[in-house]
Amino acid sequence: MSHIKLKNLVKRFKDTEVLSGIDLDVPEGSTLVLFGPSGAGKTVLLRCIAGAVEQDDGEVRIGGEDVTDVLPEHRGIGMAFQNFALFPHMDAFDNIASPLTACGKTADQIRAGVDTVARLLKIDHVLTHTPKALSNGQKQRTALARALVSHPKVLLLDDPLRNVDAKLRFEMRLELPRLLADQGATVIYVTQDYREAMALGDRIAVLDGGRIIQNGTPEEIYRRPATINIAKLFGDPTINLLDVVPQSDASGVYATLSDCRIQLDPGLSGNVGRECMLGLRPEALSFTTANEGVPVTIEAETPFNEKAVTLVTTLRKREILVSRPAETPAPASGTAHITIDPRDAVLFDRQTGVRLDPNGTSHAAEKAA
């Protein structure tokens, strides 16, 4: 009974509309990642669901029930704040215990509950410390423990890994999915980190400018981003974007790059002659030893442990990033050729930034319908 449904949610601060008509559906027990740049309205949206902020229009339904008029303390939600929001005058134990004291548990039940969750999150040795004496990682775990301790049916996690160091963030990214699955709660997880989003979400909703611009599985968001902006936000190194004008002949629709044909999906024939951007993931490109493919000049290479990223330029000095698994051979300098897997190419309208769908309709148009 913890299905979250938002209908046309609107929130204004003074005259600025921070959320303009959010519709969202999070099935019971699933995890939705709310992804977006800062200022997109992610935190406000979470607060509306928690009841800390009152929406101006629309409704929030939890478990099928409209909770618009339900006070935050009666919504049965666990929430972890980005800034932790620990109670500075209470020790870690009392912080974690606060949801339990509210529902009138006995001292023994409270102790047992806090101990269990503290052991789970490996903070059982610092329960007597005040927040001031905790490290950032411990604060973050304490805040998480406080959200989890009463086994809420709905968990709202507002970028809980934002303020912890890289090592801990990586560990938590691995631990969290299991932890959330064990809870069996419906989770909305806010983040600005696309890796976190891909790792944790059953679905990802991309929020920008107070609107959801795409809502899909991590795979969909990565493979078929709705806009150029989303394509840029997901993936490291970032997607290559090249100005092209699709053309067609007897053999199908194609774009040209350095006089080479890149075959496009025949469904894109409606966009022939339109000013477009071709999006190519760096890992969809590969070097070839044969003398076919796009001729490029190698400019620089950045080796990472697991992959190597090469910056190349085309004949017309357009820069392209190519990513390949480490230890695969590649020409170190001079001229080379790259091949492109056309299935990985995505086409965007250059004017609107919206992805052009091979089925003839753009994603945005689909959504509006």
Partner 1 sequence: MDHRSPLERVLRALALTAIVVFFMFPIFWIVLMSLQTNETILRSPPSMSFVPTLKNYAAIISGELDSNAGSMSIHFMNNLLNSVLLSVFSVALALLLGVPAAYAFARHKFRGSEDIAFTLLSFRFAPPLLVLLPLTLYFQALGLANTYLGLVWVYQLICLPLILWIVRGYFEDISPDIEHAYRIAGHGWFATFRKIALPLAGPGIAAAGLLAFIFAWNNFIFALVLASADKQPVTVGALAFVTASGIQYGQIAAAIVMSIAPTLLLALWAQRYLVEGLSLGAVKG
The residues that touch partner 1, with contacts defined as CB under 8 A, are: 47, 50-52, 71-75, 77-79, 81, 83-89, 98-99, 102-103, 130-134, 136, 139, 146, 150, 163
Q: How far is the CB of 110 from partner 1 (least distance, A)?
A: 13
Q: How far is the CB of 344 from partner 1 (least distance, A)?
A: 40
d(CA 225, CA 231): 5
Q: How far is the CB of 296 from partner 1 (least distance, A)?
A: 45
Residue 51 or 216 having the CB closest to partner 1 = 51
Q: How far is the CB of 147 from partner 1 (least distance, A)?
A: 9
d(CA 86, CA 69): 26
User: Which is nearest to 143 in space by CA: 68, 88, 198, 105?
Assistant: 88
Q: How far is the CB of 178 from partner 1 (least distance, A)?
A: 24
Q: How far is the CB of 35 from partner 1 (least distance, A)?
A: 21
Residue 11 or 363 having the CB closest to partner 1 = 11
Residue 143 or 280 having the CB closest to partner 1 = 143
Q: How far is the CB of 135 from partner 1 (least distance, A)?
A: 11
Residue 50 or 268 having the CB closest to partner 1 = 50
User: Which is nearest to 355 in space by CA: 193, 232, 209, 192?
Assistant: 232
Residue 50 or 60 having the CB closest to partner 1 = 50
Q: How far is the CB of 85 from partner 1 (least distance, A)?
A: 4
d(CA 46, CA 156): 7
Residues recorded for the chain:
369
Residue 76 or 201 having the CB closest to partner 1 = 76
Residue 73 or 299 having the CB closest to partner 1 = 73
Residue 151 or 224 having the CB closest to partner 1 = 151
CA 280, 286, 292 angle in degrees (round to 5)?
Answer: 105
Q: What are phi and psi of 303, to 5 degrees?
A: -85, 130
